[in-house]
Chain A
Amino acid sequence: MTTSSASPGLGWRTPLLIIIAGCTIALLNFGTRAGFGLFLEPISAANGWGREVFALGIAIQTVLWGFGQPFAGALADKYGSGRVLAIGGLFYAAGVALSAFASTPGMLNVTLGLLIGIGLAGSSFTVALSAIARMVSPEKRSWALGIGTAAGSMGQFLMVPLGQGFIAAFGWQVALMLLSLFALAIIPLSFILAGKAPEGTGPQQSLGEALKEAGNQKSYWLLISGFFVCGFHVSFIQTHLPAYIVDRGLDAGTGAWALALVGLANVVGSYSAGVMGGKRSKKYLLSFIYGARAVVIAIFVLMPMTTLSVLIFAFAMGLLWLSTVPLTSGLVAQIFGPRYMATLFGIVFFSHQVGGFLGVWLGGRLFDLTGSYTVVWWISTGLAVFAAIVHWPIDERPLVRVAPAAAE
């Protein structure tokens, strides 16, 4: 990669350095959070709490992460990505470290819930990806978004065993302190992604005007609808697949291998989608991915369940897992330009989180009502078909903006 492909005015920050920093931030942000489930039992046992105390803290965190995303994006677009990432990293690290000392449910809600929720939003890969998209050349953008997403996926895959190792070696409190160091590492990396789109580049519009413009675009709403489905699928499957597998007569170990396989294939799928997005139409690729999800889920539900069928399903879904991210974020940048991408993609990502919440909640609720996951699997299939259809008519051409008439 040559430095000439960078946006102008980046100085010492070469595109390679920018991509490495952005990928590492995505890895640390996603990865550190992926290990929180490991602390459910030790924190609950140490304080004599039921699981619902920890669960409430995580729920607060998830809601704040989702809600905070568009606001973090808006702050990044206005004041620069570096500042928001650094402050987010600080909140994140403080929340993780202080969770080790939370001795009341209220304290846990503040640390695990409030502080980490804000930190996750501020230091999120949404902000990091937007910074990368702005700082690399348009022809490398899709690839860069792909490697950024793959790095986040890899973080999820690698940090869980590491977190488990930390707990075994040092105890859960020191393990949290060590994990907070990973979150803290986001701060120095954020300096590399500092800055915002230079004045005079891109459209001459305020954030409010950019939001209004996007809100008037049918394509933007279609992207939001499609990404909602992605959130629904990944959260439902990740949360309920192991229980579904055991209920269908297989052992829990198959569930663990399935989740591991999803994580591994996800890295390959995310990267490949980014590469493909640089060569082919992103909207058609998204239609293909959601259509493939519909086929894969339907076959999985209809076929007799064996260990092999579970592993094939897991691998196929892994390839299709976060492969939607570089394409969806790439479409936002392609249609609206990278100037307000953090805000606009933050809103799209919020829709993903709402879908995720519904996937988990509805999965449990419908299981309680019907005694099986069958209805939710078919809802997932229907939603996948819906998403495949709604991406088709998206107009992925960059918006043509009419310059204001010169004053007479």
Chain B
Amino acid sequence: MSGRLGLHWIALGFLGAVLLVWAAIFGLTLRRAALPDEATGKVVAIYPFGWSKEQSTAAAFATEARLVRETWLPNAIELSSDDPGFAERLRTNGAIGVYRAQPFDVFTLAGCTGMLPALPRSGPQSLRRFG
């Protein structure tokens, strides 16, 4: 029994070590990816975890940003503005992270199997418009 438990501890230890390394690299990457205060254009604003879609949207609109699209996370919205200081305004209004918008969505992820992503028959047919 103790031998079996020992094996599970090894598995948990490996998982923990991997998650620690991953979190460190991912954290550094996010820091590097954060946009400077003066940034404009299409961005993704991340609001605190636990914020509802309504809360996030209200905070975003307080900056007079244009909504590009909602994402599959309630606290992340893709927005756009050409006014200088856009990223700073988003942060002042509650965003914990502001990043350049990426052309990525669930259908691209599905394409990671090595085949072309399968697009739904209904709705828009551009990859950029899902997510």
| A32-B81 Cα distance, complex, nearest whole Å | 34
- Chain A interfacial residues counted at CB < 8 A: 68
- A167 contacts partner chain B, Cβ-Cβ < 8 Å: yes
Provide 10 A-B residue pairs closer than 8 Å at the C-beta atoms, listed in order of the A residue: A20-B14, A37-B117, A41-B104, A59-B114, A143-B7, A147-B10, A154-B15, A162-B26, A168-B100, A239-B110
Interface residues of B: mostly helix, strand, loop or mixed? helix
Interface string of B93-125 (1 = CB under 8 A from A): 000000110111111111111111111111100
A-to-B contact residues, CB < 8 Å: 1, 16, 19-20, 23, 27, 33-38, 40-42, 45, 51-52, 55, 58-59, 61-62, 140, 143, 147, 150-151, 154, 156, 158, 160-162, 164-170, 235, 238-244, 246-247, 251-257, 259, 271, 275, 356, 360-361, 363-364, 367, 371
Identify which of A156, A164, A364 contacts B102 (C-beta below 8 A). Answer: A164
B120 touches A246 (CB 8 A): yes
A240 touches B33 (CB 8 A): no
B7 touches A238 (CB 8 A): no
Most buried by B among A41, A61, A356, A371: A41
B-to-A contact residues, CB < 8 Å: 4, 6-8, 10-11, 14-15, 18-19, 22, 25-26, 29-30, 32-33, 71-73, 99-100, 102-123, 127-128, 130-131
| A403-B106 Cα distance, complex, nearest whole Å | 56
The residue of chain B having its C-beta at the shortest distance from the C-beta of A65 within the complex is B114
B115 touches A271 (CB 8 A): no
The residue of chain B having its C-beta at the shortest distance from the C-beta of A165 within the complex is B29
The residue of chain B having its C-beta at the shortest distance from the C-beta of A170 within the complex is B32
B18 touches A154 (CB 8 A): yes
The residue of chain A having its C-beta at the shortest distance from the C-beta of B23 within the complex is A158
B110 touches A238 (CB 8 A): yes
Identify which of B11, B32, B108 contacts A169 (C-beta below 8 A). Answer: B32
A37 touches B112 (CB 8 A): yes
What chain A residues lie within 8 Å of B104 (beta carbons)?
38, 41, 164
Most buried by B among A1, A41, A52, A168: A168
- Distance in angstroms from B28 CB to nearest chain A CB is 9
What chain B residues lie within 8 Å of A169 (beta carbons)?
29-30, 32-33
The residue of chain B having its C-beta at the shortest distance from the C-beta of A139 within the complex is B3
